[in-house]
Amino acid sequence: MKITGISHLFKWENLHNWWLTKYFFVPLYISSALRSLPGSSLPPPVLLCSSTPLLLLFFKRHALTYIYTALSRKVPNPGIHEFTAMGLLDTKMIDYFDSEQQQKVPKQEWMRERLGQDYWEKGTQSRKSKQQWFKVNLDILKERMNQTDNDVHVLQWMHGCEADLLSNGKLQFQRGIDQYSYNGDNFLYFDDAHSVWVAAATAAEPTKRKWDEVHVLKEYTKGYLEKECLDWLGKFMDYGKQQLKHANVHIFATPGRQKTTLRLNCMATGFYPPDIILRLLRDGMILGEDDGIMTTGIRPNEDDTYQLRDSIEILSTDQGQYTCHVIHAATNVDIKKYWGKRRTTYINDMTYINGHRVIGLLVVVALCITVILVKRRQSSESNPYLILIYFTVFH
């Protein structure tokens, strides 16, 4: 059996993190494909993936995205359903629906707690309606392209919005996303800036012409992307604030490649969201790749938080003063941890402080105890979308 246009979507070897492969192969594929079109006006993606496992975002941009994937018929592959739909808040799945369970369900505890049963019941009916809409349009596209039922064909839709979080706490709309892919190829997308549909394939031109004539559809799409989607993004961000997790920062040494070296590690773990800045410094100077810095890139933990580690190979005789500096803007964390030959006292598993400071601290403690005893003696002596429009078929 041949699955047209889908096999390569499930085998993206250049995506190092399993969570990217599991949750982001569809939106990354569609958005990157559309941006490759000649004359495309779409801005650069927010999520940056490359052949290196580095993923650092230095701005407060947030996104609410919904992704739908429909197959023309069932396939025997486990875990691949005839129809799936999921909602994503930034990098986190917040709801899910598939053709097997036939129910929209929350994927975050705060979604379950903050949204009532009525929300999930209406969401389930909406997903079921969209499932039927996809079946109708898959049949239309197969007929238009003279395709048979021998192959499995794939229709995908992604829509949502992106916004920047300003210093005053308000969201500023940046762009709307409403785009379709067919058999792994870009098909059709909505140009939000000009309120027109753009055919990315010849087979999409009849659909473009028809949809452009439906002014209420264009108005609704633009309104949803720029207003309703933004409102929901703000609500979900507010609901999910309890999910913000502070970074735990550690600097520590492990055995190096040689007997005369050490690997010094600067590590942040347990943080959410994944936007973070991590720096390793020597005597106040930031170290980079040219200095031998190695990075794991941001990776997921099992509890939906993230971790990042930078390391460098140094001589065991190195007398430099090293600093692990981590900034996690979402939780207002700005931490510095230190390591160096002058810092020989081992505290709290991974943090070092100056030996002479410990001695001074002990002296102060002793003085305090003495004062308390004297005072005691004196005292004792005194006493936390889209509404389905059935005329928007691909005819």
pLDDT (0 to 100) of residue 378: 40
Name the pLDDT band for 275 (thresholds 50, 70, 90).
Answer: confident
Q: Which of 40-54, 216-230, 357-371 has the highest mean pLDDT?
A: 216-230
pLDDT (0 to 100) of residue 133: 95
* 59's tokens: 């701005």
Q: Which of 76-85, 129-138, 366-375 has the highest mean pLDDT?
A: 129-138
Name the pLDDT band for 311 (thresholds 50, 70, 90).
Answer: very high
pLDDT (0 to 100) of residue 57: 36
Task: Specify whether the CB–CB gap between 196 and 185 falls below 8 A.
Answer: no
* 161's tokens: 């919005």
Position 11 pLDDT exceeds 90: no
Task: Specify whether the CB–CB gap between 255 and 262 falls below 8 A.
Answer: yes
Q: How far is C-alpha 252 from the chain's CA centre?
A: 28
pLDDT (0 to 100) of residue 392: 55
- Residue 283 falls in which region: left (phi positive, over 0), alpha (psi -120 to 50) or beta: left
pLDDT (0 to 100) of residue 395: 60
* 37's tokens: 């079109």
Position 237 pLDDT exceeds 60: yes
Position 383 pLDDT exceeds 60: no
Q: pLDDT, tens digit, for every residue of 340-368?
A: 855 433 333 333 333 334 444 444 444 44
Query: What average pLDDT does range 200-209 have in this prediction?
Result: 94
pLDDT (0 to 100) of residue 79: 85
pLDDT (0 to 100) of residue 361: 47
pLDDT (0 to 100) of residue 3: 42
Q: pLDDT, tens digit, for every residue of 107-124?
A: 998 999 999 999 999 999
Position 318 pLDDT exceeds 50: yes
CB atoms within 10 A of CB 71: 20
pLDDT (0 to 100) of residue 221: 95
Residue 68 and residue 83: Cα distance in Å, rounded?
7
Provide the 8-state DSSP code for 272: B
Question: What percentage of the chain reaches a pLDDT higher than 90?
Answer: 56
- Number of helical H runs and strand E runs in the chain: 7, 21
Q: Evaluate the omega torsion of the peptide bond into residue 78 and state whether it is cis, within 30 degrees of 0.
A: no
pLDDT (0 to 100) of residue 162: 96
What's the Cα-to-Cα distance from 245 to each of 48, 89, 241, 277, 333, rounded to whole Å? Answer: 22, 16, 9, 15, 10
What's the Cα-to-Cα distance from 89 to each of 11, 271, 279, rounded to whole Å? Answer: 24, 16, 27
The DSSP secondary structure of 279-335, one letter per residue, reads EEEETTEEP-GGGT-EE---EE-TTS-EEEEEEEEEETT---EEEEEEEEGGGTEEE
**Better pLDDT: 60 or 178:** 178
Position 35 pLDDT exceeds 80: no
pLDDT (0 to 100) of residue 277: 95
List the domains of the chain with CATH numbers.
Answer: 2-243 (3.30.500.10), 248-341 (2.60.40.10)
Query: What average pLDDT does range 76-84 have in this prediction?
Result: 90
Position 192 pLDDT exceeds 70: yes
What's the Cα-to-Cα distance from 363 to each of 39, 281, 356, rounded to whole Å? Answer: 72, 32, 11
**Better pLDDT: 3 or 147:** 147
Position 143 pLDDT exceeds 60: yes
pLDDT (0 to 100) of residue 88: 95
Task: Specify whether the CB–CB gap between 180 and 223 falls below 8 A.
Answer: no
Average per-residue pLDDT in the chain? 77
Query: What average pLDDT does range 285-306 have in this prediction?
Result: 92
* 262's tokens: 């050490």
pLDDT (0 to 100) of residue 178: 96
Query: What average pLDDT does range 148-160 have in this prediction?
Result: 92
Picking from 124, 240, 100, 230, the residue whose alpha carbon sits closest to that of residue 173 is 230
Position 218 pLDDT exceeds 70: yes
